[in-house]
Amino acid sequence: MASGIKGQDREDAVAGWLFMTPALIVFIVFLIIPIIFALYFSLTDWNGISPPAEANWVGLDNYQTVLLEGGIRQSDFFKALKNTTYFAIGVVPLQTILSLLLAVIINQRLLRYKEFFRTAYYFPSITSSVAISLIFLFLYQRSGLVNNALEFLTFGAWEPVAWMSDARGLFHIILEALGVTLRDGPEFLRGELLGLTVWDWISGPSVALMAIMIMNTWTTIGTMMIIFVAALQDIPGSVYEAAQVDGATAWPTFRRITVPLLRPTIFFVVTLGLIGTYQVFDQIYVMSSGGPAKTTLTMAYMVYRNGFRNSEMGLGAAIAILLFVIIFVLTLIQRRITGSEAEQ
Amino acid sequence: MASISPTIAETPAQEVDWTARLRLILSYAILFLLAFTFLYPFLLTVTTSLKTLPEINENPVALIPETWTLEGYLAMQNLNVGRWMFNSAFVALAITVGNVLFASMAGYALARIPFPGGNLLFLTILGTMMIPGIVLLIPMFIILKQVNFIDTYMGLIFPKVTTAFGVFLMKQFFESIPKDLEEAARIDGANRLQMFFRVILPIARPALIALIIFTFQGAWNDFMFPLIVISVRQELYTLPLGLAVLRGGLGESLQWNAILAGSLVTTLPMAVIFIFFQRYFLEGISYTGLKG
Amino acid sequence: MTRKWYKLLAFFLVLTMALVACGGQEEEPPAGADGEQDVPTEAPPVEEEPEAEEEPPAEEEPPAEEEEPAEGTGAELQLMGWSSSEAENTRLQAVIDDFNAANGNIQVNLNLVPDYDTRLQTSLAGGAPPDVFYIDSFRLPDLVDAGAVEPAEGRIEDPDDFYESLRDAFTYNGTFYCPPKDFSTLGLQYNTDMFDAAGLEYPNEDWTWDDLRSAAEQLTNEEEGVYGMVLSADFARWIAFLYQAGGEVANEDFTEMTINSPEAQEAMDFYVNMVLDGFAAQPADLDSGWAGEAFGRERAAMSMEGNWIVPALADGFPDVNYGVTQLPAGPAGEATMAFTVCYGVPADIPDERKEAAFEVVNYLTGAEGMKAWTDLGLAMPTRQSLRDQWLEQFPDLQPFLDGAEHARAWQFVTGFQDVLDTVNNGLQQAFAGTMTSEQVLEQAQEVGTEVLNR
């Protein structure tokens, strides 16, 4: 950003910080300071009940406990990391692509009833997550709507499953269908890595976790779509007219013109997706409490469980900080990839 | 408001060839099918809230109640729902106004003003969204107590008057606005503030509407934060907080109809506001074209 | 462009004013004695001008008065708890109103909050604890170890009148911390119609594991999706069988785990085999969220839940005919679980306030307050002296109340959540056939040992 005269630079610096001031005051007092607190807690053995000043300094012990020390807390941590990562890998691409497609479809000039569609798709986002979770518990029952629909669509071939209590992993199901089981599979499957067996690592999301993933995608598509629609509307119509003159058809127009122009928005949606999925909590809290067989134990839920159920707020804070680091690194990577900072 | 139907009228009919028409039909099919799956659970919520408890237990997914009842809603009659709704609206409104102003200012600075530390600042703000909020509850409470914000409207509003989400949203939007507009204004001798209010904000209309919707909704539905701000003065509860009391202890007889009725009462005002703003939202295209 | 913005601003203002107007209206009728908790407010909430929010940093609102502890006489105390059914909330408020009316100098505010654990921990850690608060027996060790609870020893009237099992539930490291508010025990519910149809005798107090198993077998009809019993993959249920078999989770002073004992193995085998052999099923497999629902839907002929199932069935499944008896006896005799909550007083408040708080607690758990609180038939009295009188009113609930005689407390040590999760997880996997019952206990032993050595 090389811009001309020195006076301009100074003026920009002042203006920049002035524009930021109101936001900064709020952020520093109500976000940065609490985060520094949390960082400090993660270095103590604080139980989350007594006044925090009474906690003992333990250095990096909490981090060591979850990362290096064998035992239930390590294996739980990596289980949560595994579950959360499967969750993110499944949900983020799915919701980004689906919502972008929906936005493009809905943004077609010739389409009518836009208001209706937009409202309809946004409805799940409006409804409170607690209510949605409760309704989905109904729908996911063994004789619930989801199984009924699947049975209907597959002409009865579908075997009803009790979605929320099925701990089988997706890849395990596939592997077992191919005849590979833990018992007679190759030896390395039984090897242990960071508290979990290799077989556990490659489980894939459990049926219960997938049920929550589907629900999560369903509820966020509307929001993401709204963001994309807003961004699409920012693209001047003249850009498309030019493409039409050049004779470009729908797909190339989308790929060469729409997507590059949407870069900042895609970065935004994917980052939000990463943050949202890596911090998934509400649905777990209401629907599964981490079960069955800890296959829906997510990192954010583990923070809660340690901090507010197990008197280990220090450990919970350490997990929260690790979660922060993971999301941050992923965000930086994907900032590179989407190239959101590239100047036009 | 008049953006859609005229567009169709303007397009000469003979230019719409059959592939385009087919695509349109296909679009409609997909869109209606999806609309159905998106609305059905909501409809189910509405009708289930009007069922009797035994009937819900009998068949939870039947859409039409056999006996209609207001049982679920009567559970709320002794609660201070009116007051809570006012609190929610007031707090959400104040937060939204604050965000429209401050988050867009901050977003603008980060997107458009090259100032030292800007990039680091942006990453820091982005970073604050990546800490699970649950771990910040107790520190937040301690600070709120220090500044005497516990059990006040100020406590509910002030900490949220700029959200990291809002700043991030606006920054990304401002980045996609062509730069030449500002250059023109600068040549005319406008300063940053004038540029922002006269040139940038008006163009950012679709983004601002999105910001308004998201912020309002986020503030309206927020649960954990009001939970720690309001300690004893239940008349300051927001709606989600107040209705959570209704849900009571889990594991016991879940009053599904009352729970769903409660969540509907929470949801409906949001839905009305969204539908209202839809109309502004749709104007976007024509307005961006006008360039100030 | 400006025109549009004025419109938007105007909309905001109109909306705000409309809301202020209607909000004010709704508020007019004083919520008075219509039951729900209405917190008496000294100062009416400060209603800001709608315009005020335009510049939020402005400090023009006087901070609403802090809930400063009022010293000495005229103390205003806060009692914090979670909300249960509306009937119970209303009743508790009435009991407290009685207390307030009889005591001029101590006034109690009942504050029932959502998300109780989070709220409690926040206010304790933030140095603003309520003066009296609910403590679940399972949470007691955590709170005591954090130094948050003032011992009640010597400050409670006639503590020996409480059932021993309930006193135990709130005794930790030999100190009695708080008197029980009410309690539940696990009982056996049986569907009389289904027993009649199968031509079986109803369960009774003399039943053993074998009786339970053979009845469950005969009542199961897998084709119709009906099972003899509904069993959850839940430590809090299985543990009753553990005690009936004579097993223990750990040794007396919780220095060593004993959950992989032969007795535990026997209990685990019995419990898991009920499901593996197809005589019992989990709630989820019976399209239910919890056991009571499966029982109500008549998908299972028996369930083992606490007295909370009674109002749940009355509300949700009024047509189900059922009876209740005590849990069957195992190889080592009878045992059930007691789930109970007490009124705790925080350690971190001034002495005069503690005194006042204990006065309130003594009223609520004393004969008068306890009687008023329990004569809805929802909560059971924790004082033995109230037993007979209560049973006259609610004879059907006798099996639950009698459970207190041989109940064990649902209480372990700090950090035990990890063991709980491990056993629940293990039970799920054992039910699914992916873990053997030996493996479940081995794992529980291992994790428990780790927890006890922390």
Give residue-wise pLDDT tens across range B175-186: 877 777 778 888
Q: Is B79-247 in CATH node 3.30.70.990?
A: no
Chain A residue with minimal CA distance to C286?
Answer: A142
For C324-416, where are the alpha helices, taking DSSP H only? 351-365, 367-374, 387-393, 398-402
| CATH assignment of the domain containing A317 | 1.10.3720.10
Average pLDDT, stretch A2-8? Answer: 56
CA angle A75, A79, A82 (to 5 degrees): 140
**Confidence at residue C272, expressed as pLDDT on a 0 to 100 scale:** 96
Residue A175 lies in a domain: no
Interchain contact, A138 vs B135, CB within 8 Å: no
Residue A241 lies in a domain: yes
Residues A158 and A23 in one domain: no
**Confidence at residue B83, expressed as pLDDT on a 0 to 100 scale:** 92
Domain boundaries along the sequence of chain B? 4-73, 79-247
Chain C residue with minimal CA distance to B154?
Answer: C61
pTM here is: 0.86
Question: Which H helix or E strand runs over C182?
Answer: strand C180-185
Task: State percent of chain B over pLDDT 70.
Answer: 87
Interchain contact, B53 vs C315, CB within 8 Å: yes
Is the pLDDT reported for residue C73 higher than 70? no
3-state secondary structure of A131: helix
- Tell whether C58 lies on the interface with A, counting CB pairs under 8 A: no
Give Cβ neighbours of residue A278 (< 8 Å, ≥ 6 apart).
Answer: A84, A88, A299, A300, A323, A326, A327, A330, B130
Average pLDDT, stretch A64-74? Answer: 90
Task: State percent of chain B over pLDDT 90.
Answer: 29
Residues A54 and A154 in one domain: no
Residues A104 and A22 in one domain: no
Q: Are strands C132-136 and C75-81 parallel, antiparallel or unpaired?
A: parallel
Give contacts of B232 with chain C, Cβ < 8 Å. Answer: 39, 67, 78, 109, 111
Residues A126 and A35 in one domain: no
Residue A232 lies in a domain: yes
Average pLDDT, stretch C126-140? Answer: 94
Residues A313 and A223 in one domain: yes
Residue A258 lies in a domain: yes
Alpha-carbon gap, residue C195 to C175, rounded angstroms = 46
Give contacts of B228 with chain C, Cβ < 8 Å. Answer: 118-119, 122
Residues A162 and A244 in one domain: yes
Question: Which H helix or E strand runs over B4?
Answer: helix B4-10
* Weakest mean pLDDT among A91-95, A143-147, C132-136: A143-147
Residue A309 lies in a domain: yes
Residue A317 lies in a domain: yes
Final residue before a domain boundary, out of A5, A34, A61: A61
Number of domains in chain A: 2
Is the pLDDT reported for residue C22 higher than 60? no
> Are B253 and C85 contacting, i.e. CB atoms less than 8 angstroms apart?
yes
Residues A125 and A217 in one domain: yes
Alpha-carbon gap, residue C408 to C291, rounded angstroms = 21
Interchain contact, C428 vs A50, CB within 8 Å: no
- CA A187 to chain B, closest CA, distance in angstroms equals 38
- At C49, the pLDDT band (50, 70, 90 cuts) reads very low
Residues A153 and A246 in one domain: yes
Residue A183 lies in a domain: no
Structural domain span for residue A318: 70-169+204-338
Average pLDDT, stretch C30-34? Answer: 34
Interchain contact, C12 vs B97, CB within 8 Å: yes
**Confidence at residue B272, expressed as pLDDT on a 0 to 100 scale:** 83
Residues A161 and A244 in one domain: yes
Residues A37 and A126 in one domain: no
* Weakest mean pLDDT among A34-43, A185-194, C256-265, C353-362: A185-194
The secondary structure of B128-186 as a DSSP string is HTTS-GGGGHHHHHHHHHHTT-TTSHHHHHGGGSS-HHHHHHHHHHHHTS-THHHHHHH
Residue A4 lies in a domain: no
Average pLDDT, stretch C48-67? Answer: 39
Residues A53 and A80 in one domain: no
Tell me the per-residue pLDDT of C267-310, one tens digit each, with 9 for 90 and over: 999 999 999 999 999 998 888 888 998 999 999 999 999 998 99
Window 259-288 of B: residues touching C by CB (8 A cutoff) are 280
Average pLDDT, stretch A75-85? Answer: 95
Residues A31 and A94 in one domain: no
Tell me the per-residue pLDDT of B253-268, one tens digit each, with 9 for 90 and over: 567 788 888 888 888 8
Q: Annotate C221-245 with b (16+ C-beta within 10 A) or e (fewer).
A: eeeebbbbbbbbbbbbbbbbbbbbb
Interchain contact, C308 vs B202, CB within 8 Å: no
Catalogue all structural domains in chain C, each as residue range(s) with its CATH number: 75-184+339-409 (3.40.190.10), 186-336+413-452 (3.40.190.10)
- The one-letter amino acid at A302: M
The ipTM estimated for the assembled molecules is: 0.84
Per residue, the 3-state secondary structure of C408-447, as one string, reads EECCCCCCCHHHHHHHHHHHHHHHHCCCCHHHHHHHHHHH
Tell me the per-residue pLDDT of A228-280, one tens digit each, with 9 for 90 and over: 887 887 777 777 777 766 666 677 778 888 888 888 889 889 999 999 999 99
From residue A13, give the alpha-carbon distance in Å to each of A9, A17, B117, C447.
Answer: 6, 6, 9, 57
Tell me the per-residue pLDDT of C330-369, one tens digit each, with 9 for 90 and over: 999 999 999 999 999 999 899 999 999 999 999 999 999 9
Interchain contact, A290 vs C421, CB within 8 Å: yes
